[in-house]
Amino acid sequence: MRKSLTCIFLLSLVLLSACSSSTAVPPQKSAGAYFQEGEESFEKGKYRDAIASWEKVRDSYFSPELNTLAELKIAEAHFLNEDYIESAVAYEAFLTNHPNSPRIPDVLYQLGVSYMYQILSDDQDQTATTYSLKAFQTLKERFPRDRRMQEVQLYIDRCLNQLAASELNIGVFYLRTNYFAASIYRIEGLLKKYPNFYQLDKAYYYLGMAYLLSGERDKAGVAFNTLFNDYAGSEYIADAQEFIEDNY
């Protein structure tokens, strides 16, 4: 009986040992291995898998150099995956964490483009436009000799026009709801702030309307004359002339 119990006990130990060896936890990969794994996923266009690998590198704090590279790779993968909100967050974090990095010009450029892809139509919220403009203007001010400066200026002009168009929309809304003083304030403001707005003729047309409807004929005349004299081919001239005939 004692021999039987001993055999059963030994058999149990053998089984436990076998189970233990079959469920052994594999050794954790090194930061370098995770980084290479991310590179392989990235090359295959598997951006989410690449991000997951590089986040393990970043969170391992293996070395400042590898961490920095992993942060940049994460942001780039988000961008290429068209996750522009996430890429903007990642690039913003990089600027905060590495303000003196030699990669700052590239990061500012990519940040500006990330926000550019988030810009809404000019009758909606323009927060992304403001952030995009800030990134490109910072790049222009800090690194005026950057190789992409011509393209950067185009982006800056686009953002400024978008913001001006948004202001004009607000001014027109106030005009149509009979808040003439508010309309004048908005449109006069955009003329001062955005002198290169591509729709200045439209702005002067609505400004003239607002002044005339508010009873300020002299100022309305100045606005309409600016439209007639400076923008002779404008599509708004005929409407302006008709409006003057009906309301002057």
CA distance 17 to 206: 86
| Residue 233, both tokens | 């081919």
Residue with tokens 């550019």: 116
Shortest CA distance to 77 belongs to which of 29, 114, 132?
114
The amino acid present at 139, given as its one-letter code, is L
| Mean confidence (pLDDT) of the chain | 90
pLDDT of residue 110: 98
Of residues 248 and 208, the one with the higher pLDDT is 208
CA distance 158 to 143: 20
Segment 65-90, tens digit of pLDDT = 999 999 999 999 999 999 999 999 99
CA distance 76 to 23: 37
Domains in the chain: boundaries: 31-81
pLDDT of residue 27: 57
Segment 110-153, tens digit of pLDDT = 999 999 999 999 999 999 999 999 999 999 999 999 999 999 99
CA atoms within a 13 Å half-sphere pointing along the CA-CB vector of 41: 20
Segment 18-39, tens digit of pLDDT = 444 445 445 567 888 889 999 9
With a CB cutoff of 8 Å and minimum separation 6, the contacts of 183 are 171, 172, 173, 174, 175, 206, 210
